Amino acid sequence: MRRPLCAVILFCCLPVTGAALAATHRVSSLTELSTSAARIFRGTCVKVDTGTVTIAGARLSMTAYTFRVTDRLKGVSGASTITFRQVGIPGGGSADLGQRAGLPVYTQGGDYLLLLLPESRVGLTSPSGAAEAAFEITRGRAMPLAARPTGVGRPEPSAPLTYEALRREILGQAGPSQPLRR
């Protein structure tokens, strides 16, 4: 009985976690990541709330993140804040679905550029390519969160890009896209 329920839960989460799991095995180009993203924005994380979501009768941990938007690049019109829900919780441990899928966590007060996938049927989303499409912005530099060591088979650290160079590339104002690992 437990195995069929797990299969249903995973099937419902595939729109969110499928790309994330695939991203742990290859490095995507920024063009691929931005094409699959429904919303791309820069913002400051202003609120982090953990909770659960029910999928096929099972409860999964999730986190609702609220961002104050400072730059709208795709799919965000006029919103001053954006709240999205992502499977997993910060510090959820090795059994946490978000951590297993390689999804990033965001710190309240942190400045980030996110390329979010469309929401799933249950209202969950995550960055395109998992942590490859989430960048922390510090002093004008953009560091992919995939470069942070988490102990879950992350790629080698990437060199930071300037935020403006990353923004130009996302908006198609730069040359051909390169893999994000530099």
Per-residue pLDDT of the chain (182 residues; tens, 9 = 90+): 554 444 444 444 444 444 444 434 445 788 889 999 999 999 999 999 999 999 889 899 999 999 999 999 999 988 799 999 999 999 988 889 999 999 999 999 999 999 999 999 999 999 998 899 999 999 999 999 986 544 444 444 556 689 999 999 999 854 444 444 33
Secondary structure element (H or E) that encloses residue 34, with its range: helix 30-36
For residue 75, count CB atoms less than 10 angstroms from its CB and return exposed for 0-12, middle for 13-18, buried for 19 or more.
middle
Domain ranges (residues) in the chain: 2-170
Q: Which two tokens stand for residue 143?
A: 């560091």
Instruction: Write the DSSP string, 88-101.
Output: S-TT--TT-HHHHT
